[in-house]
Amino acid sequence: MFGLNGVPGLSPDGAALKRFVTREPISLFSLRKNAKNKEEKEKLNQLLELLKKKLPEGSKIGAAVGEGDSFFDSVAQGLNELRDKGLIAGSRRFNVKSLRESCKQYALQINQSKKDSWLDNALKGEGRKLRKYIRNIEFSAKDIENTSSGSKIKIIWGRPEIEGKIVCEKYGVKFRIIEVRDGEKDELHVTKSKVGVGNNIVRIVNFRNQFVPLLSNIEKDTKRSLKVSREEAYGNEIGLNSKNITQSCISTLLQGTENSSYKQSGHSRSSSKENSKSGGKQRCCNTDTYNKEPKRARLDINTINNEDTEFPSNVQDESKQSNSHRKRRCSIEDEDNNAERVKRMHINVKGASNEYLEFSNHLQYEFSHDELDDAYQTNRCIPHQLIRFMYQIDLSVLCSLRESLYKDKYPSLSLAFGDSEVDKFGNITLRYKKKSLHVKIESVDKYYTDNDISYARLFNKEKEKRSFFMNNYFDSFVKHLLFKSDSLSNNIEYLIIYTNSALDFTEEMKLKQSRSRSFYPFKFDSMNIEDCGILKDFLFTNSKIKGRGFYQFAQNKATREELLKRLEFSSAMRKELNIRNLSPEFEKEIKEVFLDKLVFAVNQPNREELNSIVKDEISSKVKDDYIELQEKVLCNLTAQKMHKKHGNDISEITYSFSLLMSFLHDMFLNNNMFSINFKGKSCDISNGIAINYKNRTTYVKALNADSNIGYSHLFPSRTQERKNKFSINKHFTVFIEELEKDKNIRYYIIYTNGGLDLTEENRFKKGQSKDFYPLKLNKIDFQKKKYKILRHCSCVDKNGLYQFSQEEATMLSSLLKLPPSFESKKKETLTDENEKEIKENFLNKLIFAVNQPNREEINSIMKNYLENKYNKFSYNYKELHELALRWSESHEFGLITKGRIEKLLGDIKNNRSSYQTIQNIYEEIKLAKSVVGREGTSTFNKFLQFLIKGEGIKYLVNLKGNGINVTNMSCILNRAGSSAIKAFRDLYNLWFDAKGNKTLYLKTLVDEGVHLPNMSSILRGAGANAAKAFKDLYDLWFDANGNKTQYLKTLEDKGISLTNMSSVLNGAGDNAAKACRDIYDLWFDAKGNKTLYLKTLENEGLNLHNMSSILSGAGAHATKAFQDLYDLWFDVKGNKTQYLKTLEDEGVNLPNMSSVLNGAGCNAVKAFKDLYNLWFDAKGNKTHYLKTLEDKGVNLHNMSSILSVSGANATKAFKDLYDLWFDTKGNKTEYLKTLEDEEINLPNMSSILHGAGSKA
């Protein structure tokens, strides 16, 4: 990706920077622990004892980040401790970057004074120059690490005598430094020194040039490494300062470009030292430097027969990359100094003069989602994939049936599934004569909402609305035209989007009004089905349901012109068009042709209804077997492997479903099998099948295998683990997460049609794995009582059951890795004994069920068993198949029991629908969307289920009964995501007791006139931390008895109401209490008296009310926004800066500017600077804008009056207005001339436009 200054690897969003850094303890502890002999250990013990004797009472040894930042990090922690105790002032917490910046500012002041100083002399004594010091001091070790191994920037280590002295002078503190030295002749030294003369003391320990802080706010000495957020140690940084680090300083890349798949797998990078060694090998391949063309993989494709040609798969799925990855990237050398291979394709295309067209991997095409799903969260759950896939299967079967009926009507009729000619429309392809129809099937869950196709779904680019995104479909068609077709007049008759969703349009068939800025009420025309020929014969189902039909965008001029504006070529296709020098007229014609062929087949039957139609047609028109027809389509699709994305391919989905059917049958026969759960139904990560047998759960994970399973499959290398579904550590993670929810797990079974690659002694055969170990397995004696559940499973081959041998326990324990969530626990509460116990528990419950029946064999076993005339069951195979499907798509989350089976079976036998419909839950749906996000995902459905069927019902009733608007609650809980239920419950329990009565929290708010909307405005977006955020803010404002604290009293005394504060802190979320405290501390001292900030502002006619208006919406950034704006207007002594002086000379004072900046929030500084720079140059002279206006009688005071309340848009508002009146040379435009002709001059207009703001 591109970073700052166009340098690959440095991402502006911080992707190249790790989210966490490590604070290391003083190395004395590790040296003592790893001492080679008793003598060395004794020496280190003595040194540690000497150190502890020197420590002040109550102080403990802390930890700090490594390399050249340990001094700054130690000092920052010490200063923060003083700040937290109220001993020193500071609006923001100290960190490495802020202290380095302070040193830079100090040096800049000295440099500007042009006088000799102690700093200049100290640097000269070290052979350094002040200018170079100013250039480099701000950069931390992490900055250099993430820039370049060949960078000219050298890290400046923190030194007590230089940087320490600067910090002491700036913040009025004193350093006490304890230095620990172990001499060459067994001499041990612990000495003390001090820097600075302040009253408040920062204490530090130095051992071998590693500094760590001495702190009183930690319970014990820090002896282990600590992971902390990068922000805590380095501040809220994104990347390097592009103004200070020039291209010449960034000649090569270092660790910033990590392998994305390695990063995603959860592995951390090596230590900084290791990275610094290898980092130089990962460099930006610059042709000026290397004079070599990067190695390229070449793929030659000659497109001759359109039907047989597939576009290369590596150019199909740009969704796997973020937008930034679509830009051109440098080649990065790997560890072997080989340039990364850039995939290049040379394609010979008819109509392109057989020229070779190059595409590198950054030009992959922009297709966003899996054929089976459009949201990864839903997509990873097998039941959701299964229903979407079965919908596609049923429509495919229907077309197969009708093909046999109409083969004589349409010459050369052929039917294909998973065809790649127009890949977005490849689910079903019909060809006859020289024409073709291409169908895209979009199945939509309509249980809770209608999920109609709105303007936003068709044209908004947000990822969550991509299922009907027009430009995805358009790009697929363009790709087909350019690479697989002779001309625009190709043989495609229709491109059809077939869906059970409806178009969200009015009675006049115009799209309903939307909030989208670019909204246009596109009109549709209904197609006369009688004129559609093959479209009617193959896809029409006779029904009078409103809205069901075939539609196209209307052909009228207005609709067509607006559509042409919204259809966009992807970056890859745009480049291809440019290469071919195709005209704008041709581009327009491509869009026209696409729109002419596009058909929306909407409000079509849902899966259950479609299945019923298929079976009716089978029984009435043909005598084929539904299951056999389904198998034919399934085999066709499986062979093409069209759907293998996000980990679950077709074979895996259908394998799990077939096994589920067999278990449902087993449960019907066995009274001890109480229930079954398809884990993916409840947004579970495991996607396994859970069987409750005698109140104990057995988890079964069905995995389809193409070959025998060896040691390397179970214990793959790091690079292969993410891809390998048999990885034992993957299953260990699932087991641990299930164990946290269910302590009563009986077995964890890996069920597969593959065998184990074992020797005659049941040991793994030697493979290619470097870390191979011949682990032994034992066959299970399934006759033992403890394996009784396995004997009751009809599709479990008892001869293929294995467990690891007990003698391998030690080796297996070393191979098993705790998931990251448990690694953090390990450092805190998890003992080695606990870890050993968890691993043993997993190994005792892990069973390999290998050489088991494959999907076809399971189906055959079940079919033969159920259709045997001697076996009497209440259902046949087809009914069991449909029963399993109906339960999988139902929204009855959780378990299926015999009672549920009987209900579903009754629906099937009596030809009743099992779809549940829920009405009048608009508020609940709105709440769920606000709290969780996108509709239709498993998390959304689970939370909505909680609100309309679970305990959430009584909560909502009580909230409404107490006059609380649910919107206020949803505002606070916004973005809680998967934690929605817990967050909702915790916040409710904070507001109400067990009997539904208001707690002190709510009562106090009501008694003190604090409106809940004010609170919810401030806490907006707190999400999963909603309850804590609410309590923290409440505790800041009220004491335990509900009385106002000093914070609230002072604010109210100074005329700042909670309405003002809610406006300033709007959206602060879970940082609300901190944000409120920080900005209060800027305005008032500990006794509630105004600080210099407020006094200075008031002297200039600006009160807190004015400032709160400017800062409206700043939220968690309110303190920074205030501080930055103040620093722009006044110096440290409260004197006006050049900005204010210049403005006042032109008759504009601070109250005028506060009126202009009203509502700018955290953009206030930028808005002010931008506007000022439009009016004045660097020397304070008027620009041509002001001169031109003044020539016409409009001064700056007039303009500030017009721009009142324009806020962050002030600059744009001014520029737009000026451009309306004058051209680039300052001449009057036609607008101004016309006004003057009517005797309306600019002074008159400025009076008219007074207060117009951004709408001027």
Residue 405: predicted pLDDT: 85
Q: Which has the higher per-residue pLDDT, 988 or 918? A: 988
Per DSSP, 162 falls in state I
Burial class from Cβ neighbours inside 10 Å (0-12, 13-18, 19+) for residue 1187 reads exposed
Three-class DSSP category at 1040: coil
pLDDT digits (tens, 9 = 90+) for 1193-1213: 777 777 777 776 666 777 887
For 912-949, the pLDDT digits (tens) are 888 765 556 778 888 888 898 876 676 887 888 888 87
As beta bridge partners, residue 801 has: 849
| Mean pLDDT for the stretch of residues 745-768 | 91
| pLDDT over 90 at 148, yes or no | no
Give pLDDT, residue 634: 74
Predicted pLDDT at 9: 35
Q: Where are the beta strands (DSSP E) in 79-158?
A: none
Q: Other CB atoms closer than 10 Å to residue 498's CB: what's the count?
A: 22
State the CB neighbour count (10 A cutoff) for residue 561: 10
Confidence (pLDDT) at 870: 78
Q: In this structure, what token pair is assigned to residue 506?
A: 């009015």
Stretch 135-144: mean pLDDT, rounded? 80
pLDDT-wise least confident of 300-304, 995-999, 1010-1014, 1208-1212: 300-304
Paired strand residues for 495: 438, 598
What's the alpha-carbon Rg for the chain, to the nearest Å?
A: 35
Report which DSSP code applies to 601: E
| Alpha helix segments (H runs only) across 14-66 | 27-33, 38-54
CATH of domain 20-234: 3.90.70.80
What is the rounded CA–CA span in Å between residue 831 and residue 1114? 45
- What is the phi/psi pair of residue 843, to 5°? -65, -35
Res. 144: pLDDT tops 80: no
Give tens-digit pLDDT for 218-268: 888 898 888 888 888 888 654 344 334 433 332 322 233 333 333 333 333
Helix (H) or strand (E) holding 927: helix 922-931
Residue type, 1197: H
The residues facing 884 across adjacent strands are none
Confidence of residue 346 (pLDDT cuts 50, 70, 90): very low
**pLDDT tens-digit map of 190-218:** 777 778 777 889 999 998 888 999 999 88
pLDDT at residue 497 in the model: 95
pTM over 0.75: no
According to DSSP H, which parts of 1100-1147 are helical? 1104-1110, 1118-1129, 1138-1145
Helix-, strand-, coil-residue percentages of the chain, each rounded to 5: 50, 15, 40
C-alpha–C-alpha distance, residues 354 and 347, integer Å: 8
Say if residues 751 and 701 touch (Cβ distance below 8 Å): yes
Burial class (CB in 10 A: 0-12, 13-18, 19+), 841: middle
How does residue 718 score in pLDDT terms, banded at 50, 70 and 90? confident
Contacts of the segment 148-153: beta carbons below 8 A, 24+ positions apart: 148/249, 148/250, 148/251, 148/252, 148/253, 148/254, 149/252, 149/254, 149/276, 149/279, 149/280, 149/283, 150/251, 150/252, 150/280, 150/283, 151/249, 151/250, 151/251, 151/252, 152/248, 152/249, 153/245, 153/249
Burial pattern 577-609, b for ≥16 Cβ within 10 A else e, equals beebeeeeeebeebbebbbebbbbbbbbbbbbb
Pairing of strands 673-678, 524-526: unpaired
The whole-angstrom separation of Cα 1060 and Cα 953 is: 35
What's the CA gap between 1105 and 518, in Å, rounded? 36
Domain residue ranges of the chain, discontinuous segments joined by + = 20-234, 384-635, 671-855
**Does residue 18 or residue 1036 have the better pLDDT?**
1036
Q: How far apart are CA 351 and CA 237, in angstroms?
A: 52
Could you give the CA distance from residue 200 to residue 658 in angstroms, rounded to a whole number?
Answer: 72
Res 440 pLDDT > 50: yes
- The CA distance from 777 to 757, in Å, is 11
pLDDT at 370 over 60: no
What lies within 8 Å, CB to CB, of 1068 at 6+ separation is 1018, 1019, 1020, 1075, 1076, 1115, 1116, 1118
Model pLDDT, residue 646: 39
Q: In whole angstroms, give the CA distance from residue 442 to residue 424.
A: 11
Residue 59 φ/ψ, nearest 5 degrees: -90, 140
Residue 793 φ then ψ, to 5°: -100, 115
Residue 706: pLDDT over 90: no
Over the chain, what is the mean pLDDT? 77
